[in-house]
Amino acid sequence: MDSTLRYLIVMVVMLSVGTALADISKCVDAAGNITYTDAGCPEGTREVEKIPEVPSAETKKLRPKVPLKNRLDRLKNIQNYRGLVTPYGVLGVYGVMSLICFAAYWHDKRKARNRQWRTPETTLHILELLGGWPGGLVAQQVLRHKNRKASFQAVFWCIVALHGLIWADVLLDQQISSALLEFAKSFI
């Protein structure tokens, strides 16, 4: 490694290390001269005042402790999430994930043609599950990729059916999930 690269690495490490908080001591010598130091007063001076260092904006502010039960109750309250999920937000997630999924199919198809290391099918299925199944469907038709393998298609269509079931539950005001929850509670 040449010296310039070594110097650059040392500088990056030094700049990335945070400084420790230390108290500042106000010291007075026999002549009345005042000095400030964070290493303690030198010999022949006496400490007049100890000033705690003010935390910078970078230090995290401690949040008040909230009991775990209260935090869990807030997580379970569906009203807290009503404003977070909007139709435009959901469509945006589907659009972005579809583009990512299409790109993953295209990348995998290119690797298959060049006989290189391929994208695992699990990765493609996870992208589909996260909302990218429309992009995966378009990629299967346009790129003619992964459209003949029966095991892949079975998992893909199960993911599409799951998304359809979730949308049906949303449109029916959570009647399906409520019925399934009540059914599950009957066994417990």
State whether 54 and 78 are in the same domain: no
Identify the H or E element spanning 49.
strand 45-51
pLDDT the model gives residue 86: 74
State whether 36 and 127 are in the same domain: no
Mean pLDDT (the chain) is 80
Instruction: Count CA atoms closer than 13 A to 143's CA, side-chain side.
Output: 21
| Model confidence, pTM | 0.54
State whether 43 and 100 are in the same domain: no
Strands 45-51 and 34-37: unpaired
**d(Cα 104, Cα 119) in Å, to the nearest integer?**
8
State whether 179 and 92 are in the same domain: yes
The gap from C-alpha 115 to its chain's centroid, in whole angstroms, comes to 34
Take residue 41 and report the two structure tokens written for it. 């007063």
- Domain range for 42: 22-58
Give tens-digit pLDDT for 81-137: 666 667 788 888 899 999 999 999 999 999 989 989 988 999 999 999 999 999 999
**d(Cα 122, Cα 124) in Å, to the nearest integer?**
5
Identify the H or E element spanning 26.
strand 24-29
